[in-house]
């Protein structure tokens, strides 16, 4: 049971860092500037200066995090189901829940919300 708890903790940390890093990398590629990480209302987010970027770029930056969550869920599922690694059960659940929450368009300012509704307020450094 301890191995499962540790694997979930590791998955949570790696998933959060990979997710937020994806936003920063794509933003940098599209001309934005990474300003750092912030913790607000129980959520970790990336602050990015996206002055001058169009709505399509905002959506691509938001999509990067969702794609990383999807990749992490697929990798942990592969480890559990294909290779029978029982410790991967926790990361499968964690990454799947993370994907559902981050990709949900019903949660204001989530990545899914940014993708569907245009993303004018994505990671506003002053907001």
The pLDDT value recorded for residue 61 is: 92
The pLDDT value recorded for residue 127 is: 44
Walking along the chain (127 residues) 10 residues at a time, the average pLDDT comes out as 73 90 94 88 84 90 93 88 80 88 87 78 48
The pLDDT value recorded for residue 122 is: 47
DSSP track, 30-87: HT-EEEEEEEETTEEEEEEE-TT--HHHHHHHHHHHHHHHHHHHHHHHIIIIIT--GG
The pTM of the full predicted model, rounded to 2 decimals, is 0.81
């Amino acid at each position: 049971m301890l191995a499962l708890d540790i694997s979930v903790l590791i998955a949570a940390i790696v998933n959060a860092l990979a997710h937020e890093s994806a936003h920063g990398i794509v933003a940098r590629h599209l001309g934005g500037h990474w300003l750092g990480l912030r913790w607000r209302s129980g959520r970790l987010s990336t602050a990015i200066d996206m002055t001058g970027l169009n709505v399509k770029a905002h959506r691509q930056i938001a999509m990067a995090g969702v794609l990383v969550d999807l990749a992490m869920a697929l990798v942990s599922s592969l480890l559990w189901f294909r290779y029978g690694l029982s410790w991967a059960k926790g990361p499968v659940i964690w990454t799947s829940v993370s994907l559902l929450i981050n990709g949900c368009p019903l949660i204001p300012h989530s990545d899914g919300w940014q993708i569907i509704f245009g993303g004018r307020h994505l990671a506003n450094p002053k907001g």
